[in-house]
Structure 1
Amino acid sequence: MAVSLLAHVVISDLCLGKPALRSLPISATIADALAALRNSEDNFISIWDCADHHAAHSVSVNVGGDHRSCTCKCVGKVCMVDVICYLCKDDSLLSPCTALKAPVSAILPKIPGLVMHLEPSSSLLEAIDLILEGTQNLVVPIQTRISNYSRRKQLQKPSTTGFATTIHNGFEYCWLTQEDIIRFLLSSIGLFSPIPALSIDTLGIINTDILAIDYHSPASSAVKSISRSLAEQTSVAVVDSEGTLIGEISPFTLACCDETVAAAITTLSSGDLMAYIDCGGPPEDLVRLVKARLKEKNLDGMLEAYIQSAYSSSTSSSSDDESSLSPPRSGKYSRSMSYSARMVRRAEAIVCHPKSSLVAVMIQAIAHRVNYVWVIEDDCSLVGIVTFCEMLKVFREHLGSMG
């Protein structure tokens, strides 16, 4: 029954109400991307290549029966975490202002297939298959009420902010994520009975290959793990010497911060970094510690950028006293506010138990806007992680067995 009902679902059904993508051209700089991220409500900015493509590389879409070959293609996405990890590199630390002048392609993930174009008439099963093959975002043309005249005006209007128009190939686009598909499946969860009631342990979807770092280790040693967790849409667990989960360094939280977190990663321990990026902004004692250690490391360029950011966010900008400057903070901490609910003793992460049901874990992840949930025992020892991708495998196998 599930197959017969879901077989008629097409991707355009999931695009209803989705906002149009904000975008930048591939020719933009990292500074352009940084400005776009600061001024966007989304955590990601899509990157487009609108050069003439050969026919073999063009993107074909069918919208409203109008089949056409695209000359613009979304080639990737960037977020604040990409910028932060880039600024943590040795050369960038010495001269962050110079580093930001590099092309945005320098921070585009090098993993092929993370972003894929898909026709609106494609089936839900096609979308799930692409995600299981490694795709994170499906780029889909959407119908809008914008008139042809308005489209031409937007296409002709020059950009003064570094943003590219949201119109490409005559259409606006949105993208679908793992979360969008999980939300849709949750709305039809009754079709999959009794699977949703089974425990994640019984289903065998607890992944023990996790990224973790010791609480007292330098946060800088976690940069590669942070980049990997972003690519895998997971997180970096912070544990003690006995393997107890203390918290996490989450790309979902870092994406809500600003670029000055690179200075904190360079100078603080993993435990201190957790406190620094926690919702509400960094404590003033950690801000002073970051400044002092930047001086010790002779990272004058990073220190200057860090102080300038603090100054610009200060409400008492007339004061020249460095100690009166308020801590750097992002205006987008609202997304990370979900982490203010402490789910377990001594852990600042979203967690579940091996015997938790699949549907309960789905609801947990969706409620906290993350793509994963940590799995712990009663003593808070870390067992593994459950991801949206593992959940989708369960539903896909079920649909395949019924087909």
Structure 2
Amino acid sequence: MASVFLYHVVGDLTVGKPELEEFYETETIGSAIRAIRESTGCGITVWKRKTHMEMAENNDTRQQRFVGILTSLDVVSFLAKPQCLEDQDKAMKTLVSDVVVPDNALLKIVDPGIRLIDALEMMKQGVRRLLVLKSTVWKGMSKRFSILYNGKWLKNVDNSSNLSINVSAPSSAASSASSSSSSTPPFMRNKFCCLSREDIIRFLIGCLGALAPLPLSSISSLGAINHNYSSIDASLPAAEATQKNPGDPSAFAIMESTPDGRHRILGEISVSKLWKCDYIAAAWALANLSAGQFIMGIEDNVSSRWLTDCNNNSLDNGVESTRPRKISSMSSGYSPVSPTFGVGRGTYRGRSAPLTCKTTSSLAAVMAQMLSHRATHVWVTEGEDDDDVLVGVVGYADILAAVTSKAPSLSALTPRSIIELRLENHH
């Protein structure tokens, strides 16, 4: 298992990644909606503009310009405010800086040569995005320069016949890397790409063989189930989601109580569910419907029929229309139903059903579920299929913690043990 973390660096994950296009806090909410829909995740990084466009920017200055991450749930919650529903034109023209929650710690600028294990540790501590220098020199570099000790490159020459390693000159290798960086053409220096936790997990799922037997272990045995999830009773107003901080993952389980006092999950309000929806219609529903009613409408809201209507009627030049329009339950795609939710789990079957797994599900299966559905989490249930009694949730952070829990501390590896690991890997 250690070899996966030892022989790979963050630069390996940047190959093929698009260059970051900064989204500024001075943009409007209407522009943010389009950017979130077109993003590869459920949120976008928000930046302050450069004060001096002509001057070169170091990492510290760039880090200071990062504001936070704006998600689909943030936008819908904002648009659900009474004043926004009354004046949609004004709401859509609101600056992103008035909505995004500032949190500079959610992004970290890193060198492409840092170890994968170090990147995982950062994300376990709460980092959501890694900003990595994008350069053409990072094409399979870890196969040529993969020996690391205490976070530094070790000079080595690797060919089919021998393995010569100078373990006494990490500073020499570092200066060599610095020299290589300084020789990079100026136009390459400021090109960055952004790696998310999904990117890390997508990479790891391609290395499942090297991680054995961990991927086949149950999420329960690995301690990957997070029991501190956020929830809302189905009979309560959906607006409860705007008054609470869901934490990580950014999702609320919509539940109903069973006769024996347990909680059955019916659906969810989350960044992934709201990602591609009609934000204005979802905001109206969030403000006016119960949580149970909301989740039955949200899936119809993202259907092809609804998206076609959304594209024809609510988009101007690719941005959510700022023209005021009257939103009702009929026009929003949400159909009010009885507030009584004792009709059983079957009412919520189909497209509105949440993504779930069992406590006995393997880590590999849960990872595959999340990636195939582009979800930030999977709810964990127990009991029969029709019960769906909620016991917890597995999110990105939980998977990263589980993957690294059995890995040895690579920072404590000696040069000899590193060589032995590499020789073992060659055999």
The 3 A distance-change label for structure 1 pair 174 and 279 is: farther
Match of 2:110 in 1: 118
Match of 1:390 in 2: 398
Match of 2:5 in 1: 6
Does 1:30 pair with 2:29? yes
Q: Structure 2: which 5+ runs fail to align?
A: 138-185, 316-325, 334-345, 414-427
8 A Cα contact 1:11 1:122, kept in partner: yes
Q: Given residue 271 of structure 2, which amino acid in structure 1 is its aligned partner?
A: P
CA distance in 2, matches of 1:220, 1:323: 16
Does 1:246 pair with 2:254? no
Q: Given residue 255 of structure 1, which amino acid in structure 2 is its aligned partner?
A: W
Q: Secondary structure at the match of 2:360?
A: coil
Match of 2:73 in 1: 81
CA distance in 1, matches of 2:23, 2:363: 38
CA distance in 1, matches of 2:205, 2:26: 40
Q: Given residue 238 of structure 1, which amino acid in structure 2 is its aligned partner?
A: I
Match of 2:251 in 1: 235
8 A Cα contact 2:68 2:104, kept in partner: no
Does 1:275 pair with 2:280? no
1:129-148 residue pairs with structure 2 within 5 A? 129-143=121-135
Q: Residue 379 of structure 2: which of 368, 371, 374 is its match?
A: 374
TM (norm. structure 1) is 0.70
Q: Residue 349 of structure 1: which of 354, 368, 373 is its match?
A: 354
Q: Given residue 361 of structure 1, which amino acid in structure 2 is its aligned partner?
A: V
TM (norm. structure 2) is 0.66
Deviation at 1:38, TM superposition (A): 5.6
CA distance in 2, matches of 1:26, 1:51: 12
Q: Given residue 262 of structure 1, which amino acid in structure 2 is its aligned partner?
A: A
Does 1:364 pair with 2:380? no
CA distance in 2, matches of 1:199, 1:355: 5
CA distance in 1, matches of 2:63, 2:401: 34
Match of 1:339 in 2: none
Q: Residue 196 of structure 1: which of 194, 208, 215 is its match?
A: 215
CA distance in 1, matches of 2:23, 2:63: 15
1:266-305 residue pairs with structure 2 within 5 A? 266-279=287-300, 281=302
1:212-223 residue pairs with structure 2 within 5 A? 212-223=231-242
The 3 A distance-change label for structure 1 pair 115 and 70 is: closer
8 A Cα contact 1:21 1:46, kept in partner: no
CA distance in 2, matches of 1:215, 1:72: 41
Deviation at 1:144, TM superposition (A): 6.4
CA distance in 2, matches of 1:191, 1:208: 29
Match of 2:159 in 1: none
The 3 A distance-change label for structure 1 pair 144 and 275 is: farther
Q: Secondary structure at the match of 2:117?
A: helix
CA distance in 2, matches of 1:326, 1:312: 16
Deviation at 1:20, TM superposition (A): 2.3
Structure 1, 44-53 or 177-186: larger mean CA deviation: 44-53
Match of 1:316 in 2: none
Structure 1, 8-17 or 70-79: larger mean CA deviation: 70-79
Q: Structure 1: which 5+ runs fail to align?
A: 62-68, 146-166, 287-306, 314-321, 330-341
CA distance in 2, matches of 1:5, 1:47: 32
Deviation at 1:236, TM superposition (A): 1.1
The 3 A distance-change label for structure 1 pair 254 and 121 is: same
If asked which structure has higher relative contact order (CA below 8 Å, sep 6+), I would say 2
8 A Cα contact 2:67 2:104, kept in partner: no
Match of 1:174 in 2: 193
Deviation at 1:13, TM superposition (A): 0.5
Deviation at 1:382, TM superposition (A): 0.8
The 3 A distance-change label for structure 1 pair 72 and 169 is: farther
Match of 1:210 in 2: 229
Q: Residue 106 of structure 1: which of 66, 82, 98 is its match?
A: 98
Q: Secondary structure at the match of 2:192?
A: strand
- How many aligned residue pairs are there? 327
Structure whose alpha-carbon radius of gyration is higher: 2
8 A Cα contact 2:218 2:363, kept in partner: yes
The 3 A distance-change label for structure 1 pair 308 and 246 is: closer
Q: Once the two structures are aligned, what percentage of the paired residues are identical? A: 30
CA distance in 1, matches of 2:4, 2:314: 54
Deviation at 1:60, TM superposition (A): 3.0
* Aligned CA-pair RMSD: 3.8
CA distance in 2, matches of 1:267, 1:20: 40
Deviation at 1:169, TM superposition (A): 9.0
Q: Secondary structure at the match of 2:378?
A: strand
Q: Secondary structure at the match of 2:103?
A: coil
8 A Cα contact 1:236 1:248, kept in partner: yes
Match of 1:399 in 2: 407
8 A Cα contact 1:276 1:283, kept in partner: no
The 3 A distance-change label for structure 1 pair 193 and 77 is: same
